[in-house]
């Protein structure tokens, strides 16, 4: 894809150049859980009509401290888990949200189709959509068994997302392996996304690449990755408001917002590596200015007790969206 990131800053000019290529790299934007019929859009770039209000969801990762993590492998806990993924779905129902993001980590491993269907039906009974799923993959691993396992896990969760009725799955890129270099890591990441994308297309699930450190630490790095992604109506960016630990994170978020097909909002912002309270109205404005129209997902990671803090932030977000 013709995206230039060689300049010192991926700014408005190069962004416009990227958008001009949309006719050759269509994206069917997700809206209300379905795909738009007009596919003449660039990756994650949506029609300019902004909805009256955005839908609100909550990420299961918000309760990471209370759940058993079983994907990609079981992680030992210092204290017993006190919450399951289905307990989380019920909590989202209590908050009367529009959706719930069902992070893969907290499902049983292995997980049965029956469990997935029961979880999907539980959400439906509470008037919740499954806004998406999320995995913790690493596509920068070199060829071999470990990489094959990452690709297999991704295929599994594409299948599971389809069963759950989740329109999008958040994926990571990864990090430069020990002894490797960034150029090779990006090439491996591109190959992993392209292989997974072919499978996702068959299942009707979209892949959203998250800005999550490693080789996605800056917008420029993300654009270099996107340059090598095959044309597909099922790919875009997962906008994570708290993951750019750069000099000017809000400006960097503006650069990726037009490509977002999923958006997670954190209540803290990493400015030059230091956690500070996020300017949530400013973040929502960035999304609205980019004509974002899919789910806004609160991903709570701050120190305060989640069940005490989350309702406060949900109330704030409701007013903003």
CA atoms within 13 A on the CB side of 182: 11
Cα–Cα distance for residue pair 92/96, rounded to 1 Å:
6
Measure CA of the first residue to CA of the last residue in the chain; give whole Å. Answer: 33
Q: Which two tokens stand for residue 105?
A: 């980590």
Report which DSSP code applies to 7: S
pLDDT for residue 151: 98
Pair 269, 298: CB distance under 8 Å = no
Burial classification of residue 168, based on how many CB atoms lie within 10 Å of its CB (0-12 exposed, 13-18 middle, 19 or more buried):
buried
Using the structure block, give the residue that is written with the tokens 């492998």: 73
Q: What is the CA radius of gyration of the chain?
A: 18
Closest of 188, 272, 171 to residue 224, by C-alpha: 188
Pair 193, 224: CB distance under 8 Å = no
pLDDT for residue 231: 86
CA atoms within 13 A on the CB side of 150: 22
Closest of 65, 85, 83 to residue 75, by C-alpha: 65
Report which DSSP code applies to 216: B
Question: Which residues share a beta bridge with 103?
Answer: 134
Q: Provide φ and ψ at 130, rounded to 5°.
A: -85, 105
Pair 100, 57: CB distance under 8 Å = yes
Which pTM value belongs to this model?
A: 0.86
Q: Which two tokens stand for residue 33?
A: 């859980």
CA atoms within 13 A on the CB side of 184: 9
Q: Provide φ and ψ at 69, rounded to 5°.
A: -95, 125
Cα–Cα distance for residue pair 79/64, rounded to 1 Å:
12
Cα–Cα distance for residue pair 164/112, rounded to 1 Å:
12
Question: Which residues share a beta bridge with 210?
Answer: 238
Using the structure block, give the residue that is written with the tokens 């993924």: 85
Q: Is 282 helix (H, G, I), strand (E, B) or coil?
A: helix
Kindly list the averaged pLDDT for each block of 10 residues, start to end, along the chain of length 321: 33 38 34 30 48 89 97 93 98 98 98 98 98 98 97 98 98 94 98 98 98 97 96 94 95 97 96 87 97 97 97 98 94
- Cβ count within 10 A of residue 80: 7
Instruction: Give the contacts of 242 (CB within 8 A, at least 6 positions apart).
Output: 265, 266, 267, 268, 269, 270, 278, 299, 301
């Amino acid at each position: 894809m013709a995206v230039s990131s060689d300049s010192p800053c991926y700014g408005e000019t190069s962004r416009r150049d990227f958008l001009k290529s949309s006719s050759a790299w269509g994206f069917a934007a997700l809206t209300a859980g379905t795909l738009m019929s007009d596919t003449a859009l660039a990756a994650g770039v949506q029609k300019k009509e902004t909805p009256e209000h955005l839908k609100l969801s909550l990420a299961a990762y918000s309760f990471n401290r209370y759940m058993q993590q079983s994907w990609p492998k079981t992680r030992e806990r210092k204290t017993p888990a006190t919450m399951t993924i289905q307990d989380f779905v019920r909590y989202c129902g209590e908050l009367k949200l529009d959706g719930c993001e069902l992070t893969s980590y907290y499902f049983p491993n292995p997980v049965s189709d029956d469990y997935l269907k029961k979880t999907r039906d539980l959400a439906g009974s509470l008037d919740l959509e499954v806004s998406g799923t999320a995995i913790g993959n690493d596509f920068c691993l070199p060829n071999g068994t470990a990489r094959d396992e990452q690709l297999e896990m991704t295929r599994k969760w594409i299948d599971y997302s389809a069963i759950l009725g989740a329109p999008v799955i958040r994926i990571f890129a990864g990090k430069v392996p020990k002894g490797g270099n960034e150029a090779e890591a990006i090439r491996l990441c591109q190959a992993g996304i392209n292989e997974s994308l072919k499978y996702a297309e068959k299942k009707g699930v979209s892949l959203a690449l998250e800005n999550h450190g490693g080789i996605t630490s800056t917008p420029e790095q993300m654009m270099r990755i996107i340059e090598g992604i095959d044309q597909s109506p099922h790919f875009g960016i997962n906008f994570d408001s708290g993951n750019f630990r750069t000099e000017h994170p809000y400006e960097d978020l503006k650069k990726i917002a037009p490509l977002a097909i999923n958006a997670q909002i954190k209540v803290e912002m990493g400015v030059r590596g230091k956690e500070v309270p996020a300017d949530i109205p400013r973040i929502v404005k960035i999304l609205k200015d980019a004509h974002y129209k899919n789910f806004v997902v609160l991903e709570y990671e701050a120190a305060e007790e989640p069940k005490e803090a989350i309702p406060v932030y949900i109330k704030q977000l409701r007013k903003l969206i």
